[in-house]
């Protein structure tokens, strides 16, 4: 009985202390008082004072980091000082809230840049002085680490199936279709696996078109482009470049950051040190 009363009073306390936030016809109200206005064009929401003077914008971003991992966040930009844009996490009042409700809720509850007196410009400016750190989950952090490694390798595939890293040949594909193009996606479910070899013709691994799996010569396997739910869908089929990139991550010995010595100086990743 005592435990039930504690839970009841806790719930009532949350209800009575919660701020009433409403957005109707572009007018943001807090406890029944109009405090700001908002309009949108696509995924960009412009917040204005009650005189309709634009103060800042919030843009919703949803992007693929690597493979099936996506990252959703907002970009905050001041209209009166656009020297810097902030990438920030956002919060929503419920799992079914749209972008407008999430933007308003984040401004009031998360960032504290709208209060009962309107848009708090001081708090807005303070965000740009002391930038909040994003709270990425482990999966997203690992995806960004992988992407950084991939970007450094700067992998490309030419029109004959040769794999290059920073412009240097490091391997090649075999069993390519007759109509192969370097920018093509691997969409044909053939019974012939697409194989990858390094520049010395050593077998590195293969891509199985029927299962969308990459398998290394050492036995590691990875399924590319799994189906997922969310704000946006992802490609059903990978590009040859994506296959080479994932193989490079799975087998670090396949492609290493190229170094050249030029007149006693080291050139790494195309940048002279």
Cα(first)–Cα(last) distance of the chain, in Å? 71
Per-residue pLDDT, 239:
86
Q: Per DSSP, what are the bridge partners of residue 44?
A: 41, 59
Tell me what the mean pLDDT of segment 84-90 comes to: 96
User: Would the pTM of this model clear 0.75, i.e. be above it?
Assistant: no
Q: How far apart are CA 131 and CA 146, in angstroms?
A: 25
Closest C-alpha among 23, 53, 49 to residue 36: 49
DSSP state of 182: T
Per-residue pLDDT, 9:
35
- Per-residue pLDDT tens for 218-273? 999 988 765 554 544 444 678 899 899 999 999 989 987 544 433 344 444 444 33
- Per-residue pLDDT tens for 52-85? 999 999 999 999 888 778 899 999 999 999 999 9
Tell me the residue ranges of DSSP E strands in the chain.
Answer: 21-24, 27-30, 33-41, 44-48, 54-66, 69-78, 85-88, 114-115, 118-119, 155-157, 162-165, 168-174, 194-198, 203-208, 213-216, 221-223, 259-262, 265-268, 271-272
């Amino acid at each position: 009985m005592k435990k039930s009363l504690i839970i009841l009073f806790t719930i009532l306390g949350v209800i009575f202390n919660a701020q009433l936030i409403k957005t109707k016809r572009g007018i943001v109200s807090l406890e029944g008082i109009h405090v700001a206005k908002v309009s949108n064009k696509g995924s960009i929401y412009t917040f204005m004072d009650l005189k309709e003077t634009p103060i800042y914008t919030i843009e919703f971003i949803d992007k693929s980091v690597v493979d099936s991992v996506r990252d959703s966040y907002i970009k905050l930009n001041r209209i009166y000082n656009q020297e810097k844009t902030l990438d920030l996490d956002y919060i929503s009042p419920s799992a079914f809230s749209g972008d407008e409700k999430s933007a308003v809720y984040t401004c009031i509850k998360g960032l504290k840049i709208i209060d009962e007196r309107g848009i708090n410009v001081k708090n807005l400016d303070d965000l740009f002085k002391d930038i909040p750190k994003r709270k990425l989950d482990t999966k997203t952090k690992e995806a960004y680490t992988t992407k950084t490694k991939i970007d450094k390798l700067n992998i490309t595939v030419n029109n004959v199936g040769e794999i290059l890293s920073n412009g240097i040949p490091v391997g090649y594909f075999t069993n390519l279709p007759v109509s192969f193009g370097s920018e093509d996606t691997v969409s044909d479910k053939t019974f012939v696996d697409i194989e990858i070899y390094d520049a010395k013709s050593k077998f590195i691994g293969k891509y199985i078109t029927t299962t969308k799996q990459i398998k290394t010569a050492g036995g590691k396997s990875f399924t590319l482009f799994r189906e997922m739910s969310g704000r946006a869908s992802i490609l059903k089929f990978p590009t040859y470049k994506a296959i080479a990139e994932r193989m490079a991550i799975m087998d670090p010995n396949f492609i290493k950051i190229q170094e050249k010595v030029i007149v006693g100086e080291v050139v790494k990743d195309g940048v002279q040190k």
